[in-house]
Amino acid sequence: MVFKAFKTARMRILRNLIEKNGNTLPNNAAIKEHIQSLDRVFDDDKHKSLLDFLYGNLSILDNKTSALLSFNAFILTIFSIFFVFLNENGNMLMFTLLYTGFFICIISTFICLSVVSLYWSTTSDFKNAREHMVNLIKVRDERTVIYMLSWRMSFWSMLSLFLFVVVVSISKISAQFF
C-alpha cells in the first residue's frame, strides 16, 4: 500500500516537472507521430548523413567537456590541498594567486555544465529537417564557443596554480638561505 502511494506521488511529481518545462508525457499517438517523423528524415540518406555528422560533433563536444570537468575537479582538489598549506603561512601574493586560480576554475566548471545540457529532438524538429539542421549547427557553434571559453579559463587557472607553486618554492628556498 505504501509502495503504491509512493509510486503515485512520484508520477504526479514527474508529470508536474515535465509539464512545467513545457513538455508532456507522450501518449501512443504522439509516439507514433514521432516515429513517422523520424522515418521521413532517416529515409533520406542526405539528411541522415548530415544529422549523423552534426550529432557526432555534439558528442565530441560532450566528451571534451566531460574530460574538462574531470580535469577541473582534479585541479580544484589540488587548490583545496594548498588552501590548508596557505592557512599556516603565506603572503598576499600567494593568497591572490591561489584564490584567483580557484575561482577561475570554479567559473570554468559552471560554464562547462551549460555545454552538456540535455536536449532531445522533438517531433516538430523532425517535421522540417533543414530547419532542424540549422538549429543543430547553432547549438554546436554556441557550445563550441562556451567550451573554448571554459577551456581558456581552466588554462588561466592552471597558470595561477603554477605561479603559486613557483612563488612558494622561491619563498621556501630564500627562507633557507637568508
The answer to whether residues 171 and 92 touch, using CB atoms and an 8 Å cutoff, is no
Check whether residue 69 and residue 140 sit in a common domain: yes
- CA–CA distance, 76 with 83 (Å, rounded to integer): 10
pTM of the full structure:
0.75
Q: Over the chain (178 residues), what is each successive 10-residue block's mean pLDDT? A: 60 61 62 72 76 89 94 95 79 89 96 82 75 87 94 96 91 81
Check whether residue 26 and residue 92 sit in a common domain: no
Angle at 171 between CA 170 and CA 174, to 5 degrees: 80
Question: HEC string of 112-155?
Answer: HHHHCCCCCCCHHHHHCHHHHHHHHHHHHHHHHHHHHHHHHHHH
Check whether residue 54 and residue 96 sit in a common domain: yes
Provide the pLDDT for residue 16.
63
Instruction: Name 101's Cβ contacts closer than 8 Å, sequence gap at least 6.
Output: 79, 156, 157, 158, 159, 160, 161, 164
Question: Which residues form the domain of 12?
Answer: 1-43
Check whether residue 2 and residue 58 sit in a common domain: no
The answer to whether residues 99 and 13 touch, using CB atoms and an 8 Å cutoff, is no
Check whether residue 125 and residue 173 sit in a common domain: yes
Check whether residue 10 and residue 68 sit in a common domain: no
Check whether residue 170 and residue 113 sit in a common domain: yes
The answer to whether residues 56 and 48 touch, using CB atoms and an 8 Å cutoff, is no
The answer to whether residues 86 and 95 touch, using CB atoms and an 8 Å cutoff, is yes
Check whether residue 105 and residue 150 sit in a common domain: yes
- How many residues would you count in the chain? 178
- CA–CA distance, 161 with 25 (Å, rounded to integer): 48
- CA–CA distance, 84 with 77 (Å, rounded to integer): 11
Check whether residue 144 and residue 73 sit in a common domain: yes
Provide the pLDDT for residue 7.
60
Check whether residue 38 and residue 50 sit in a common domain: no
Provide the pLDDT for residue 60.
93
Check whether residue 29 and residue 88 sit in a common domain: no
- CA–CA distance, 82 with 78 (Å, rounded to integer): 6
Total domains in the chain come to: 2
Check whether residue 115 and residue 150 sit in a common domain: yes
Angle at 134 between CA 128 and CA 140, to 5 degrees: 135
